Structure 1
Amino acid sequence: MTTTIRQSVLTLSAGEIGRPGPFPPLEAEAVTRLRADATSVPDDIAARVAAAPPPWSFPYHPQSEYDRERRTRDIDVVVLENEHLRATIVPSLGGRIWSLVDVASGAELLSANKAFQPANLALRDAWFAGGVEFNIGMRGHSPTTCDPLHAAVVDGPGGAPGLRMWEFERARGLVFAIDVHLAHDSDLLAVHVRVVNPDTASASMYWWTNIAVPETDGTRVIAASRTTYASDYSGRLVGIDAPYRGDIDITLPGQHPGAADYFFDGTGIDVPWITAIGEDGTGLLHASTARLVGRKLFCWGNGQGARRWQEWLSPEGGRYAEIQAGLAPTQFEYLEMPARAEWSWTEVFGKVRVDGAGPEHATPDAIQAADRDVQSRLSTHDIDALHGELSDFARRAPLSILNRGSGWGAVERTLRRADEWIDETPTPFPVVEGDDSAPWNDLVVHGVIPPTAFVGSHVRGDRWERQLRSIPGADTDAFAQYHLGVLAHVTGDAEAARVHLRASNVAAPSAAATRALGFVALQQGDAADAARRLRDAIALTSAGSPERAALILETLDVLRRAEDFEQVRGLAITALRDEVLTGSVTARVRLALVEAELEVGDRESAAALLRGGGILPANFREGEDRIAMLWQRTFGEKPPRELDFSMFEGAEVL
């Protein structure tokens, strides 16, 4: 059977992502900065971990307007198939490889989710579990993970058709392309990734391929590695004597007591690999060319909260673990990608059988068996030669377009006047009418402010600053001054940000500029002033608007930081009584009120709110312990199972 490519639909229970939020994030994500153990983590890794900036997904807007109401829905997919494998890919959802089936046995090699349920795990909030996800830009699930990518049919080895997906990643200013190939007679799915930095300045580069695999108590995960590092969310990164951490066998994720990351450093290994082996001895093999040095196992742990998370993300059943591959030895590092550089690598996915790696076998013996059988499996494939061949195809023009991504690549091409851009032959970027990039394209092409929404989308970078300053009358224009103020803020120039944002409000008072002034104050450590300005911004919005709801939540959060719980209480009560709130917004306002009642000493009111329900937002954040904390403080006990999302119960602290 020769390789075929076809468009199809995936019919399943699915939610909706919803429209992006009205405002972009104006501060970096609050994450724990890891401390690398000096005695067990090499100096170069420790230095990169220490230097890594916190994730900040600006200029993207959050994707938070989803709920947990699903209906049967058709999702457009592309299917690549030969006599060995069938891959189902979703270009409209970040290019996710949803499913990879071994045709002969009918076995699913990935954890293919039976439902599409967004949840709050990505840099922009919305994320979904399952399959193979491609993450670029910064630590976390990519800003493009729930966005459509450009997609087209391309030529492949031996005339087999392939699928190319590409996009301009706006936070880092990089162009990436993912070519998925399945040669006519191959039993390995090949993914060739090409990333280009079109700029004259270097960029902080991050890439991790995230692979969901089925998990049982006997699932075994083994990787080629010289050194292993561990992090269990306690704030430390340490080297361990793998495959054990104390009395924990890290190769058996289904038996792990708590959530943890294990990083396997494949530096110096010609073909780094990782495999997840089921109890029947078969499973998924992932291998790559040497540039992709990092491998990782993420396990949820087997506590009640961990199981609850898996149900939350896979509501129609299915435990899973994650095996991953990245450019750096750990996910807490960035690599500096030189100006005008192009990086590429090839990854392969396929079925593997390992005899002697079951849970009944001693772990050292299982590792030897896996190494023997994986090397035998890979010996018939020259991954480096495959990479060279695919690199040639990666520069050829696509044959026929299957899906449209965003128009931001076209806007950047026009903005840069082609002097600092790429050869678009393999990755053409069309202008996309109706896209959130369209007003900015009009601005670049015509040099005047388009008559569109004030803050429908945002931009970043020196070129955009120059473009905004070139607008006729920019010094007194509300639009230009607002965006110049935001650009100054995200680069850390607080004084310039204030000048521009105040000028914007003088020209035309707006909730957006007033909000931004609040975040400038917050960046300077004045939470009280930030809260005041955010309340002023609320007053400039209309009842029931997305802007008003977003500002209420931000104001409550800032008031909490200022420890002004009387004001938290007052704003939450007023919002619940007078505002038109829906879904996750209502739940988060209730949670803020619970905390405020506890802080002002009214435990009885807090208990009534908790018992009354409606406190679990659809966009409950990974790692968020707020409900458990409030329940414990109020009742002196763990929350009921449906509210228990603790990932760390029983975990050994590193």
Structure 2
Amino acid sequence: MEIVTTIRREVLTLPAAHLGPDNPLPPLRPLDETHRVEDRDKEDLPRDMARQIDYAPLHSLLPVRVRDGYDRRREPRPIDTLVIENDRLRVTVLPGLGGRIGSLVHRPTGRELLYRNPVFQPANFALNGAWFSGGIEWNIGATGHTALSCSPVHAARVPAPDGGRMLRLWEWERLRDLPFQVDLWLPEGSDFLYVGVRIRNPHEKPVPTYWWSNIAVPEDCRVLAPAEEAWQFGYERRLRRVPVPVHDGTDRTYPRNSTYAADYFYEVPERRRRWIAALDADGRGLVQTSTDELGGRKLFVWGRGPGGRRWQEWLTEPGTGGYCEIQAGLARTQLEHVRLEAGGEVSWMEAYGPFDARPDGEWTGVLRAAEDRLEAVLPRADVDAARTAWQPYADTEPGERLATGSGWGALEVLRAGWKLPGTPFDESTLGEEQQPWLHLLRAGSLPEPPDSRPPGGTLVARHWRDQLETAPATPLTEYHLGVAQWHAGDRAQAVRSWERGLRHAPVRWPVLRCLAVADQEARHPERAAERYAQAFDDLGRVRREAGDDDGSWTAVTAALGREAVEALLAVGRTGDARSVWQRLDPATRERGRFRLIEAGLLLAEGRREEARAVFDAGFEVADLREGDEVIGRLWGALTDEPLPEHHDFRMRPTP
């Protein structure tokens, strides 16, 4: 009996780490992005690629906050899912985690077509921190994993072109201030999931945009893509053109053949069909194809080196098979951003499904056979026709709501009066985070936070900065205005705003911390250290007066204490650094990041054996950044012994 396509709610229980609170301090420092191209490499790039690499790269996370409150203590936790299913495919979507597709199962064979992570373990790979591996993720915003990786999106049923129902996901991307939608359409009897994507620019000026659909697949495979050349990018930050499939005597289309982590951005000829596939030794796997608007294709490999293997273990659990990523994007490389004109939009159709083809053999012949097979099971014209059929439905208003995202889109729609058919950002979604800014919008002033609580996040777009400039100049308004001015690049004016706010502020630590960061960026480390010490003292006073019975001040104490210790150590004030350390919450001091800080503090105090004992006792830095070599550097300062395997996260050859 034929089964019609259904969309239903389910609950998935996984061993999952706790996400914890976001970092309450505004991210004022320049974005630590590993995907930067050496200037010497830009001279030899195609002109359009070089132009798009230089076009509006992201320099700041504002207004987004850093998500670093997660841990590595996994226990069974329920995760809400939405399941789309017909008689051929079962698609599991995670609306609370960026709308990621967590699983894609071919029902007739029972084959999982993706790498499905058996745990939920955040790690520091997203632009704003928390990210997890596995499935198909929708990367929008800027180079890197989206800031929405571990955030909820809106979801609802909408009519599909074939008379059935699609699942619509939509949200407001805050780094570029753009609304987007992802329509998941699984026609009855289809072996392929269609995915219609649209990004809109409602602003009166062009905006840089970015998109890469990121598909995790088991790494015991060969990756096929219609290209004879690729742009290789590794953690040495070099971008160079290399042949495909063999480079430096090794066939790089087999992910396990590489030693170190690397990206391979395929140079797909202009008129050739856009597709990429990952096939196991038996020639079975997954294929992704799209209309031509989504022109880029990429392979990411972890490599077989110790750092790559360690990261693979870090993101899941022992005994789990490794994965690689095949991706599709708007540009040839992830280092580029694309100009989206004022009032414009960009949209395309993707398709995902099972694929069988010969993986081994001479490259040109393998590709020709695979493309013939793809044309037989899913003609290129059918994908183009699916896009044409879907486009009139992209504006259809959603029906039954299945999940709720953030209220930021609702705030922007209220502010600007935009009409965005198909992606309603209802006023009912406005929450606690949006309330101060809604008050500013309607009453022209910012309300003071209750009980001297931390000031909350800052909106930094030009229109919000203008409203802050005309609002009553309270200490809180001066604080937020300074953050917005800092984001705009007017650092001198930001410092003046913070200094004005400091004169009458009953709570001084938020502004002192901002001024300390400004001092660091201006290369005044001694003054920065003094301001950090004052800020931490003031935070302690405010916390005592507030009566911290529920532990709600723990996150800000940890965040400010971490920065203060590091700033004080940088200028040799070890006694003051120790004083800050001792005033941190005991549970905070036991976290892996703070155990690492303690080892550095002990080393600075000349207590080398005790610092080594911290390593011997063991710790895990849950929020260790992709490409960060801080553990190795500290270990090297303590001993000449080889770095222990469980601390080896190096993603490049040792210099």
2:348 aligned with 1:351: no
Q: Which amino acid aligns with 2:116?
A: A
Q: Residues 34, 558 of structure 1: CA spacing in aligned structure 2 closer, same or farther, 3 A cutoff?
A: farther
- Contact 1:504/1:513 (CA < 8 Å) preserved in 2? yes
1:142 aligned partner: 146
1:253 to 252, 255, 266: 255
Which structure 2 residue ranges, 5 or more long, are not aligned? Answer: 544-552
Q: Residues 514, 163 of structure 1: CA spacing in aligned structure 2 closer, same or farther, 3 A cutoff?
A: same
Following superposition of structure 1 onto structure 2, how do residues 82-101 of structure 1 map, counting pairs within 5 Å? 82-101=86-105
Q: Which consecutive aligned stretches of 4+ in structure 1 deviate over 6 angstroms post-superposition?
A: none
Q: Which amino acid aligns with 1:554?
A: E
Q: Describe the superposition over 1:541-583 as per-residue Cα deviations: whole angstroms up to 9, x where unpaired.
A: 13663222111222344456xx42x22x435533443421435
1:20 aligned partner: 22
Following superposition of structure 1 onto structure 2, how do residues 205-354 of structure 1 map, counting pairs within 5 Å? 205-216=209-220, 219-225=221-227, 227-266=229-268, 268-269=270-271, 271-315=273-317, 317-354=320-357
State the secondary structure of the residue aligned to 1:111.
coil
Q: Residues 455, 185 of structure 1: CA spacing in aligned structure 2 closer, same or farther, 3 A cutoff?
A: same
- Contact 1:432/1:438 (CA < 8 Å) preserved in 2? no
Distance 2:382 2:28 in 1: 47
What's the CA shift for 1:380? Answer: 6.9
1:470 aligned partner: 470
Distance 1:465 1:431 in 2: 25
- Contact 2:600/2:634 (CA < 8 Å) preserved in 1? yes
- Contact 1:454/1:479 (CA < 8 Å) preserved in 2? no
1:49 to 50, 53, 71: 53
Q: Residues 635, 369 of structure 1: CA spacing in aligned structure 2 closer, same or farther, 3 A cutoff?
A: farther
1:481 to 478, 481, 494: 478
Distance 1:229 1:277 in 2: 22
Q: Describe the superposition over 1:413-451 as per-residue Cα deviations: whole angstroms up to 9, x where unpaired.
A: 2222x1xx2324443333335441122223323333234
Following superposition of structure 1 onto structure 2, how do residues 554-633 of structure 1 map, counting pairs within 5 Å? 554-559=563-568, 563-564=570-571, 566-567=572-573, 569-582=574-587, 586-595=591-600, 598=603, 603-614=608-619, 616-633=620-637
- Contact 1:230/1:260 (CA < 8 Å) preserved in 2? yes
- Contact 2:167/2:183 (CA < 8 Å) preserved in 1? yes
Q: Describe the superposition over 1:178-200 as per-residue Cα deviations: whole angstroms up to 9, x where unpaired.
A: 11110112211011111111111
- Contact 1:498/1:517 (CA < 8 Å) preserved in 2? yes
Q: Which amino acid aligns with 1:200?
A: E
Q: Residues 40, 434 of structure 1: CA spacing in aligned structure 2 closer, same or farther, 3 A cutoff?
A: closer
- Contact 1:572/1:593 (CA < 8 Å) preserved in 2? no
1:397 aligned partner: 397
2:561 to 537, 549, 552: 552
Distance 2:216 2:577 in 1: 39
Distance 1:612 1:261 in 2: 36
- Contact 1:84/1:187 (CA < 8 Å) preserved in 2? yes
What's the CA shift for 1:382? Answer: 1.6
1:526 aligned partner: 524
Q: Which amino acid aligns with 2:290?
A: S
Distance 1:42 1:8 in 2: 48
Following superposition of structure 1 onto structure 2, how do residues 397-546 of structure 1 map, counting pairs within 5 Å? 397-416=397-416, 418=417, 421-452=418-449, 453-471=453-471, 474-475=472-473, 477-508=474-505, 509-542=507-540, 545-546=554-555
Q: Residues 393, 232 of structure 1: CA spacing in aligned structure 2 closer, same or farther, 3 A cutoff?
A: same
What's the CA shift for 1:649? Answer: 4.6
- Contact 2:158/2:166 (CA < 8 Å) preserved in 1? yes
2:649 aligned with 1:645: yes
Q: Describe the superposition over 1:499-554 as per-residue Cα deviations: whole angstroms up to 9, x where unpaired.
A: 21112112214221111112222333333333322222212213663222111222
2:369 aligned partner: 369
TM-score by length of 2: 0.92
What's the CA shift for 1:324? Answer: 0.9
- Contact 1:149/1:166 (CA < 8 Å) preserved in 2? yes
Distance 1:233 1:269 in 2: 31
What's the CA shift for 1:598? Answer: 4.9
Q: Describe the superposition over 1:569-604 as per-residue Cα deviations: whole angstroms up to 9, x where unpaired.
A: 435533443421435874333323434555676543
Cα-Cα RMSD = 2.3
Q: Report the identity percentage.
A: 37
Distance 1:271 1:371 in 2: 8
Following superposition of structure 1 onto structure 2, how do residues 166-185 of structure 1 map, counting pairs within 5 Å? 166-185=170-189
1:34 aligned partner: 37
Q: Residues 598, 450 of structure 1: CA spacing in aligned structure 2 closer, same or farther, 3 A cutoff?
A: closer
State the secondary structure of the residue aligned to 1:201.
coil
Q: Describe the superposition over 1:152-190 as per-residue Cα deviations: whole angstroms up to 9, x where unpaired.
A: 011112112111111111111101111111011221101
Q: Describe the superposition over 1:625-652 as per-residue Cα deviations: whole angstroms up to 9, x where unpaired.
A: 12123223422232222222222359xx
Q: Residues 527, 585 of structure 1: CA spacing in aligned structure 2 closer, same or farther, 3 A cutoff?
A: farther
Tell which deviates more after alignment, 256-265 or 634-643: 634-643
State the secondary structure of the residue aligned to 2:96.
helix
What's the CA shift for 1:52? Answer: 4.8
Aligned pair count reads 635
- Contact 2:273/2:380 (CA < 8 Å) preserved in 1? no
What's the CA shift for 1:364? Answer: 4.8
Distance 2:236 2:415 in 1: 44
Distance 1:588 1:116 in 2: 20
Q: Which amino acid aligns with 1:190?
A: Y
2:383 aligned with 1:379: no
Distance 2:568 2:32 in 1: 16
State the secondary structure of the residue aligned to 1:92.
coil
2:159 aligned with 1:155: yes
Distance 1:64 1:164 in 2: 29
Q: Which amino acid aligns with 1:74?
A: P
State the secondary structure of the residue aligned to 2:514.
helix
Tell which deviates more after alignment, 366-375 or 549-558: 366-375
- Contact 1:98/1:130 (CA < 8 Å) preserved in 2? yes
What's the CA shift for 1:362? Answer: 4.5
- Contact 1:271/1:383 (CA < 8 Å) preserved in 2? no
Q: Residues 571, 261 of structure 1: CA spacing in aligned structure 2 closer, same or farther, 3 A cutoff?
A: farther
- Contact 1:553/1:585 (CA < 8 Å) preserved in 2? no
Distance 2:461 2:503 in 1: 25
Q: Residues 448, 153 of structure 1: CA spacing in aligned structure 2 closer, same or farther, 3 A cutoff?
A: same
Distance 2:310 2:537 in 1: 39
1:189 aligned partner: 193
Q: Which amino acid aligns with 1:396?
A: T
- Contact 2:213/2:328 (CA < 8 Å) preserved in 1? yes
Distance 2:469 2:380 in 1: 59
State the secondary structure of the residue aligned to 1:195.
strand
What's the CA shift for 1:9? Answer: 1.1
State the secondary structure of the residue aligned to 2:652.
coil
Distance 2:59 2:326 in 1: 22
State the secondary structure of the residue aligned to 1:391.
helix
Q: Residues 170, 64 of structure 1: CA spacing in aligned structure 2 closer, same or farther, 3 A cutoff?
A: same
1:73 aligned partner: 77
- Contact 2:593/2:623 (CA < 8 Å) preserved in 1? no
- Contact 2:215/2:325 (CA < 8 Å) preserved in 1? yes
Q: Which amino acid aligns with 1:189?
A: L
- Contact 1:303/1:649 (CA < 8 Å) preserved in 2? no
Distance 1:340 1:520 in 2: 36
What's the CA shift for 1:122? Answer: 0.8
What's the CA shift for 1:72? Answer: 1.2
Q: Describe the superposition over 1:51-70 as per-residue Cα deviations: whole angstroms up to 9, x where unpaired.
A: 55344221111111111111
